[in-house]
């Protein structure tokens, strides 16, 4: 069985160069208004947001570049 690695929200915020609060705000706004802000896929376990390392890397690659 392969072990899957996860980032915590503070690690994702650091990688995206945003605050944890900004990331939480984007997640909450997306719940209300149909994915207005691009955020990486996540799961919630025991109240914690976890982001799969492999899914995060794929999400970053799929984002448009300016």
Q: Among residues 43, 60, 35, which one has the least CA distance to residue 8?
A: 43
For residue 20, the SS3 value is helix
What tens digit of pLDDT does each residue of 20-46 get? 999 999 888 887 776 677 888 899 999
How confident is the model over 15-26, as pLDDT tens digits?
Answer: 999 999 999 998
Q: What is the pTM of this model?
A: 0.82
């Amino acid at each position: 069985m392969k072990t899957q690695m996860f980032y915590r929200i503070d690690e994702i915020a650091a990688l995206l160069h945003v605050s944890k609060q900004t990331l939480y705000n984007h997640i909450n706004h997306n719940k209300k208004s149909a994915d207005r802000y691009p955020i990486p896929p996540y799961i919630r376990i025991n109240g914690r947001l976890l982001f799969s390392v492999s899914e995060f890397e794929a999400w970053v690659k799929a984002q448009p570049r300016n």
